[in-house]
Every structure is written in C-alpha cells, then in structure tokens.
Amino acid sequence: MIYDFKVKDSNQQLVSLDKYMGKVLLIVNTATQCGLTPQYEGLQSLYNKYRSQDFEILDFPCNQFLGQAPESDAEISQFCSLNYKTTFPRFAKIAVNGKDADPLFQYLKKEASHEDENEEEKNFVDKLKSLGQKVLTPEIKWNFTKFLINKEGRVVKRYSPTSKPENIAKDIERELAK
C-alpha cells in the first residue's frame, strides 16, 4: 500500500502518505519544460471537479527526462501556481527511474508495470527512441506518467504520459463511487 511510504514535500518536510488514507489519488511525475507541461491545466480541472469527493493529485517533479525540470522546488511551485494556477499538493523533485529511484515510484512501477498503449502512445515512444531515450517497461517512459490509486491505497491503473487528464475522469469517478 502507498500508505507505507514517506516522501518530502516541496519544503523538504517529510510527509507520510497515510495522511491520504481513504482518498482516491492520482500520482503524477511532472516537469515544467516539457511538451506535455500543459497537462497541468487538465490535472487542475480534475482536481477542481473531484477534490470535494475525497480526490487528491500528488505532483512529483522529476528532472530525469532531458533535464526538463531543472528549477528548484520553490521555482517549480511558483511556475505551476503562476502559469497553471495549480492548487494540488506538490512534493520535492525526485528520481523515478534508476538506482536512485524513490521507493514510492519503485513500488508504483512494480504494481503497474506498464500502461495500455494506443496509437498515440506508440508514436510517442517511437519519438523518444529517435531522441536516443531508452524506453524500458516497467520504467517510467517520460514526464506525466500517471498512477490511479484507490481508497485502500492500491494501484488501480497506470496511464501513459500522453494520456490526457480528462480521459482519466471516468476511472476516477468509478473509484470514487466505490
């Protein structure tokens, strides 16, 4: 369960994820200088729509993909607040792949080793490969990989970086209704 993990918030304070017990969560690794960064708008829309129903988005900035989140935690928070008006919890920048991968993301990848690939996803992966990026399952392929967590703290589904937040709404609604 994700409630067993502790992570640092954007102020470097340790936070136990058990504080989100009983809520549906969407955990996302993000970046501020990525072509997918505008997904923050869709994420904020989801948050606005479902927050009152015990839904939270947990934002984990990551600089592992072509250095697309080079700013400090404070600068990332400021960027997201000013440019996308985000209000969901943001945590300290972390590694999601490799030997330094945060234990939370090691667990998420183990629980949902791959996402459903559609034509858009296959094209995205081909583009990453053409840039020389290694694309290995179960590794996180890119920024904005999303994990849906149920009220019991278990991973329900993994979504590709190109999955638009609005396309996740039905899955969130299904979990909130349980």
Domain harbouring 133, CATH code: 3.40.30.10
Q: What is the pTM of this model?
A: 0.88
pLDDT of residue 121: 59
pLDDT tens per residue, the chain (178 residues)? 999 999 999 999 999 999 999 999 999 999 999 999 999 999 999 999 999 999 999 999 999 999 999 999 999 999 999 999 999 999 999 999 999 999 999 999 988 866 555 556 566 656 666 766 655 457 888 999 999 999 999 999 999 899 999 999 999 999 999 9
The amino acid at residue 31 is A
**What domain range includes position 65?**
2-177
Query: Which among 34, 58, 80, 104 is annotated as catalytic?
Result: 34
Place of tokens 């399952």: 137
34 among known catalytic residues: yes
Q: How many domains does the chain have?
A: 1
Distance CA 150, CA 95 (A): 23
User: Cβ contacts of residue 138 below 8 Å, gap of 6+?
Assistant: 109, 110, 112, 113, 114
